[in-house]
Structure 1
Amino acid sequence: MTTSPHKVALVTGAARGIGLAVAKRFLGEGYRVALLDIEGELLQQSVQALNDPDNTLAIHADVSDADAVAKAFAAVQDRFGRLDALVNNAGIAIFKPLLETTQADWDRVLAVNLTGPFLCTQAAAPLMREHGGGAIVNITSISALRTAYGTSKAGLAHLTKQFAVELATLGIRVNAVAPGPVDTAMAKAVHTPAIRADYHDTIPLNRYGLETELADAVFFLCSDRATYISGQMLAVDGGFEATGIGLPTLRREGSNG
């Protein structure tokens, strides 16, 4: 086992998008980072592109597989000797309405989006406890997109609060970041011009978020600047969550008055 004074973070769903941006943010702050993803080939490509073999560890695993999660955290312990931050970012969305959602769809979404963070947090807590605590950030959502996805993210928001209460005595803080629309490769591929126009019309800041902006929020909640913050959900959404106050047209008229 290697013991290092450097802090260590593990980020799930780290082969691309927000997860990869979060991993880069931690690396930039001097952390050693374990990047975990179910897409093994893409993960290897991303880790190689980081070009920092001394401070990175690629872990090919499915967060819904308890045995795989246990092996993943054992690998982090063996390689880095500690764990200070966990970011539960891995997630899937099946965009089907209720009457088209199969039980297999439902089971898979709940397994990855809810059971995955449960298993990872359960595995992380003992490692964090050894060095006086740590921080966990769950990536939830401001959106209730379809039955299975929305339910899984609502469950994760509540689980965040439960974890915050139960793990506080171990010196572990638990929070959540709820992204609004973010300009990821997936969003660019699946959001039609009409969908993008709708979001722009609804988001007060009138734009999609950047992966780096989500990474900044995640890092803040894991940092020493957030030592008295736990059990909270931070919406990083350009004001999207607040749009029930004032229609877009009225907001525009108000700004011109």
Structure 2
Amino acid sequence: MTDPLPKVLVTGGARGIGRGVCERLLDDGWHVVMLDADATALETMAERLAGRGMLTAVACDVADEAQVAAAVARADELPGPLKGLVNNAGIMHRQPVTELSLADWRRVIDTNLTGAFLLAKHAAPVMRADGGGAIVNMASTRAHMSEPDTESYAASKGGLVALTHALAISLGPDVRVNAVSPGWIDVSAWRADPDAAPEDLTHEDHAQHPAGRVGRPEDVAELVAYLLEDRSGFVTGSEFVIDSGMTRKMIYAE
């Protein structure tokens, strides 16, 4: 009899980067517990990924502690040790700060930042009991640079970077915690609708990147996969920017 597969929780797994991460981890032999607040998108993606590997879909609003606790308990009931958590769920609300309501501010912070805290709070004890593991928080280059009218999103992602190193110190050595900060990742073909057409990117869109192209979900998933594995066992408390060098590129008006 073979041992049960190690389990990994992936929030916001029904679309975009989260979907890419789920697909990669299924291919790598994880039992993926895919969480998403959109039950319809979750069902659609679970059907699409059926047969690709061991997948359990759980509807969960990460901003709701009761739902988070229930989702982690559900994952704990499944065979195998809980060895990974990918805090990917996130939303953006773009509005001038002078018009931004407190409710909209809190909705972004609660989903993007508080949700990661709640998942870590409830999952870490299970991971420790199962012999330890790794957490990856999906931050953003918006933690370091901004477009106008994105205060709530930037604050949430900056908070995630700080939460990452705080958790790494608090949970180590049993649980490692790192952050991944993507730049421009084209998720247009990775939405919940499997038949969605990819975005029509221009030559200039790609050429402005030092690596010569806009990023893809597979790029981020590759890094997440590494950070979850034992081969990254000396890596914790770190932020990994994956943006083709755009945050290092000097840009001045000519």
More divergent stretch after superposition (83-92 vs 142-151)? 142-151
Partner letter of residue 44 of structure 1? E
User: How far does residue 18 in structure 1 lie from its aligned partner after superposition?
Assistant: 0.7
Amino acid at match of 1:113: N
2:10–2:86 CA contact under 8 A, matched in 1: yes
CA RMSD of aligned residues (A): 2.6
2:179 aligned partner: 176
The alignment's TM-score, normalised by the length of structure 1, stands at: 0.87
List per-residue Cα deviations over 1:83-111 (Å, max 9, x = no partner): 10000000000011211211111010000
Encode CA deviations 1:116-143: one digit per residue, 9 max, x unaligned.
Answer: 0000011110111112210000000002
Partner amino acid, structure 2, of 1:89: N
Q: Give 1:240 shift.
A: 1.0
Rounded to whole Å, the distance in 2 between the matches of 1:16 and 1:213 is 15
* Match status 1:212 vs 2:221: no
Alpha-carbon contact 1:164-1:175 (below 8 Å) kept:
yes
TM-score, normalised on structure 2?
Answer: 0.88
The structure 1 segments of at least 4 consecutive aligned residues displaced by more than 4 Å after TM superposition are 186-189, 195-202, 246-249
Question: Which of 215, 233, 236 pairs up with 1:230?
Answer: 236
Contact 1:202 1:243 in 2 (8 A): no
Which has more helix, going by share of residues? 1
Are the aligned partners of 1:201 and 1:248 in contact in 2 as well (CA < 8 Å)? Answer: no
Residues 71-220 of structure 1: pairs in structure 2 closer than 5 A = 71-143=70-142, 144-145=146-147, 146-169=150-173, 171-185=174-188, 200=206, 202-220=208-226
**Structure 2 counterpart of 1:39, one-letter code:** D
CA distance, structure 1, for counterparts of residue 190 and residue 151 of structure 2: 19
Distance, in Å, in 1 between the alignment partners of 2:105 and 2:202 is 27
| Equivalences for residues 30-41 of structure 1 within 5 A | 30-41=29-40
Letter in 1 for 2:180: V
Residue 153 of structure 2 aligns to a residue whose secondary structure is helix
CA–CA distance in structure 1, aligned partners of residues 215 and 170 of structure 2: 32
Q: State the identity %.
A: 38
Q: CA deviation at 1:82?
A: 2.5
| Matched-pair contact (CA < 8 Å) for 1:136–1:172 | yes
Q: d(CA) in 2 for partners of 1:172 and 1:124?
A: 10
Helix, strand or coil: the match of 1:235? strand
CA contact (8 A) 2:17 2:190 kept: no
Provide the secondary structure at the position in 2 that maps to 1:203: coil
Per-residue CA deviations over 1:206-236 (Å, capped at 9, x if unaligned) read 3210111110010011112201000000011
Looking at structure 2, the residues matched to 210 and 248 of structure 1 have their Cα atoms a distance apart, in angstroms, of 28
Task: Give 2:176's aligned amino acid.
Answer: R
- How far, CA to CA, are the matches of 1:63 and 1:198 in structure 2? 37
